[in-house]
A and B are shown apart, each in its own frame.
Chain A
Amino acid sequence: MTDRPPFLGFGLGLRPQHYAEILEAEGDLPIDWFEIISENYMAPGGRPRHMLDRIRERYPVVMHGVSMSIASTAPLNWDYLADLKALADHAQPKWISDHLCWTGVHGVNLHDLLPVPYTEEALTHIAGRIAQVQDYLGRRIAIENVSSYVEFQESEMSEWEFVAELANRADCWLLLDVNNVFVSGQNHEFDDAGFVQAIPQDRVVQFHLAGHSEGNDCLIDTHDQPVCDEVFALYAKAIERFGPISTMIERDDNIPPLAELIAELNRARAIAGRILDPADLKVT
């Protein structure tokens, strides 16, 4: 597929707790790139934008949003998209991603990544909106599968069939969140490896790895724990299927020192190194 984003290597989510350590490090850290939460840098100025500019000087950056609400039946928020585009013009990310979810309707924002029914109607609706956004931004975006705690009676297909078809219809990239596949697989009792196998190889541009917690009745995508062994095992299967895909670890709460996250990242790097030829892992 043309204009496929480059393999960036192994990255981390950029968090304010690590700004100083990243910028004051002597020499380059073993972190190939950073993912920013777009909304955290959509303010007009101050420390966030300043830090972003300094980190951009040394590392490639990608933008990851939580508020596009691409699956909502509410109208697209063009003010939000204008801010997103302005940030992209400034930050020059390698790509932009958001979630296969909705965050609210009727003017309300629930600030959550809410799942959709896997129906033909939803497919048509969401693919059309992704196309609108891509036209506006002038680039393909990457759409991420979310962790979910419910499914819907009216679903007509599996989540992996839905995701695969959506990527083809919308002609978008995919961000495969391996932890989300695992969490949803546990919660809805499906085969997570089968999910990975069903995703089209030429659409995936990024992997997310993250930790989760055990709720009362299901796993919760909390991003406050280290990546667990089962998720690393599923990541290995994803690497086997997709090859060298830019990989990063998300940690949003209970944030540890940078060294701990680098150690986790090195584990992902080692898994990919065992499966792939070293030449394939050369960062482009």
Chain B
Amino acid sequence: MASGLAALQARMQQDILHRDGSALDAIAVPPGHRAEDRLFVYQNAYVARLVEIMGKDYDTTWTYLGDQLFYDLARQFIAAHPSKTPNARWFSHGFPDFLAGLDLATQNPAVAELCAIERALGDAFDAADQPALSRDSLAQIMDNTGARLTFHPSVALLRLATNSYDIFNALRADQTPPDVIRLQDETWVLIWRKDLTCRHMQLQPDEGAVFEMAMQGHGFEHLCEIAATIGPAERAAFRMAQHLTHWVDNGLITQIQS
């Protein structure tokens, strides 16, 4: 460890993060210039760069909150969670959870959910590639009661307590978003990538429930049992066949494990 260099870097980082003058006496600037002004370039760039990245990652949330509130919340997040990842792409991954922990979440519980939708879309964007199974695989699943499904690495299932998905869709369509309401029953939104394009859709309650169980690794027979408890038992097998077809056609399933 280079001790003088280590001390200097620690002081400069402290000054960039906290603007406390820690590094001022180590700085050299040409005559007529002030060390404070030059350090400010780094201090300002640190916050501005990270806010800019968050604005791109969560642009719908930004639109919903407006410039000032989004900027204030982003700054609070940056102060509370300095980046620890070498790739700035990942640094704001905790922003939805951070928002969910604020008083804001009590006033408007849709904000954190809206942000979570955007995070899932961002994750889906560059998740690993895996070939999806075709309809030819359907029989293999339905003939194997213990079959467990592996989903595409981009797949995320969000369970939402508000109409945040309607708000998201309205904002993406440049329309005025609806007022926030808490749903009587939670709803599921599925996010994934197909053919390099990120996609999202709302699942009906019965499909969402079995999809969640399937993602947790439950076998096909158990999924049919779950489906039978949600709707008419005599139509459970038919509905499961419909769900499976829906999932396969959307490129969601990549593997069947016996």
Which residues of A come within 8 Å of B, CB atoms? 39-40, 42-50, 67, 69, 72-73, 77, 80, 102-112, 114, 116-117, 119, 121-122, 124-125, 149-155, 187-189, 215-218, 220
A selection of 13 A-B contacts at a CB cut-off of 8 Å is A39-B86, A39-B87, A44-B129, A44-B153, A46-B196, A48-B126, A104-B83, A105-B13, A109-B83, A111-B88, A150-B28, A151-B29, A153-B27
Which single member of B4, B17, B29 contacts A119 (CB below 8 Å)? B4
Contact residues in A for B89 (Cβ distance below 8 Å): 39-40, 43
Closest A residue to B27 by beta carbon equals A150
Contact status B126-A67, CB under 8 Å = no
Q: How far is the CA of A189 from the CA of B30 in the complex (A)?
A: 7
C-alpha spacing A122/B17, complex, angstroms: 23
- Known contacts A44-B128, A44-B129, A45-B126; is A111 also within 8 Å of B41 by CB? no
Contact between chains at A73 and B126 (CB < 8 Å)? no
Q: Identify which of A40, A111, A215 gathers the most chain B CB atoms within 10 Å of its CB.
A: A111
Closest to B36 in A: A217
CA–CA, A40 and B53, complex, Å: 13
Docked complex Cα distance between A114 and B83 (Å): 15
Contact residue among A46, A109, A150 (Cβ-Cβ distance under 8 Å from B126):
A46
**Which residues from 37 to 90 on chain B have a C-beta closer than 8 Å to any C-beta of chain A?**
37-39, 41-42, 45-46, 49-50, 82-89
Give the residues in chain A near B84, CB-CB below 8 Å: 107-109
- How many of B's residues come within 8 Å of A, CB to CB? 50
Partner of B16, one of A45, A73, A110: A110
Q: CB of B139 within 8 A of chain A?
A: no
Smallest CB gap from B124: residue in A: A46
Once the chains bind, are A152 and B28 in contact (CB under 8 Å)?
A: yes
Q: Tell me if A's interface is mostly helix, strand, loop or mixed.
A: loop
- B125 → chain A, closest Cβ, in Å? 5
The docked-state distance in angstroms from the alpha carbon of A96 to that of B79 is 33
Pick the contact of A112: B25, B49, B129 (CB < 8 A).
Answer: B49
Asked if B173 is at the interface (CB within 8 A of a chain A CB), the reply is no
Separation in Å of the A66 CB from the closest CB of chain B? 9
CA A67 – CA B85 in complex, angstroms? Answer: 9
**B5 contacts A73, CB within 8 Å?**
yes
Bound-state Cα–Cα, A161 to B151, Å: 56
The docked-state distance in angstroms from the alpha carbon of A150 to that of B53 is 25
Contact indicator B2/A153 (Cβ below 8 Å): no
In the complex, what residues of A have CB within 8 A of residue B46's CB? 110-112
Asked if A47 meets B126 with Cβ closer than 8 Å, knowing A72-B9, A150-B39, the reply is yes
Inter-chain contact B125/A105, CB cutoff 8 Å: no
- Give the one of B4, B8, B16, B46 with max A CB within 10 A: B8
| Further pairs besides A49-B129, A108-B82: 14, Cβ < 8 Å | A43-B127, A45-B126, A46-B124, A46-B125, A67-B86, A106-B13, A108-B83, A109-B91, A112-B16, A150-B28, A150-B29, A153-B25, A215-B41, A218-B37
A73: B residues at CB distance < 8 A: 1-2, 5-6, 9
> Given A39-B87, A217-B38, A116 and B5 touching (CB < 8 A)?
yes
Are the CB atoms of B8 and A154 closer together than 8 Å?
Answer: yes
CB distance from B55 to the nearest CB of A (A): 13
Q: Which of A67, A112, A153 contacts B87 (CB 8 A)?
A: A67
Find out whether the CB atom of A110 lies under 8 angstroms from the CB atom of B33.
no
Query: Is there contact, CB below 8 Å, between A46 and B127?
Result: yes
Contacts of A67 in B (CB 8 A): 86-87
